[in-house]
Amino acid sequence: MRTIDRGSSPDLIAAILAEVKGSLRELRCGTTERMIRLGVSMTQMHVLWLLEHHGDVPMSRLAELLDVSVSNSTGLIDRMEEHGRVERVRVPDDRRLVLVRLGPEGIRVLRELEDSHHVRLQRALAHLDPARLCGVLEAFTDFHSAIEADLGPHAHVHAALAGGSSPIDTIASDDPAASPAAPAPVVQ
């Protein structure tokens, strides 16, 4: 075990980043395994995450976000649409404009991965005693505030982080049987 100078912010930050990176690697590995079982490629997952974050986007914007040509993104979206992961919709006021949105299967994939993360994190946190859980909650609350302070005003992101509706929440709320797992109780 390495020695950390607890009075040194750079040492503490480096130690925290090392722990966060290790935790994220573990979660990413589990996510990749589940994606393989679901038959979803990393590129397709990237598209689903972009649509979850940005909502409906024009094909040209999606290509820009993916840093590929429109023709390449069109082929990718064709394959995803065949599996119901995305849908193309024309804008009624401008039929030339085609938007890409999450399809039912894409929502299901996102929900399944999110539920899997929730369960894994809940199991990990269950190993901690209540005093440690309070410390983790306090640290993450402060960390979240620091991220918001650093990012500045991003209303759509902040609304999702604060429990507001994201595209997946909005669509999921239409189906009461498909509600996500309940959050873990807050330790006081």
Residue 58, domain CATH: 1.10.10.10
Contacts of 159-164 with CB under 8 Å at 24 or more apart are none
Residue 45 in domain: yes
**Phi, psi dihedral angles at 99 (to 5 degrees):** -100, 150
pTM of the model: 0.68
**Residue-range definition of the domain harbouring residue 21:** 1-38
Question: Residues 32, 21: one domain?
Answer: yes
Which among 151, 179, 156 has a CA at the least distance from the CA of 52?
A: 156
Domain boundary residue, one of 55, 76, 103? 103
Tens-level pLDDT at each residue, the chain (188 residues): 567 677 778 888 888 899 889 888 888 888 888 888 889 999 999 999 999 999 999 999 999 999 999 999 999 999 999 999 999 999 888 888 889 999 999 999 999 999 988 998 999 999 999 999 999 999 999 988 998 898 875 544 434 434 444 444 444 444 433 333 333 333 33
Residue 134 in domain: no
Residue 4 in domain: yes
Residue 78 in domain: yes
Question: Residues 68, 95: one domain?
Answer: yes
Residue 161 in domain: no
Residue 21 in domain: yes
177 contacts: CB under 8 Å, gap ≥ 6? none
Domain boundary residue, one of 103, 135, 158? 103
Can you give the pLDDT at residue 1? 55
In the chain the first and final C-alpha atoms are separated, in Å, by 31
Domain count, the chain: 2
Can you give the pLDDT at residue 175? 41
Can you give the pLDDT at residue 32? 85
62 contacts: CB under 8 Å, gap ≥ 6? 47, 50, 73, 77, 100
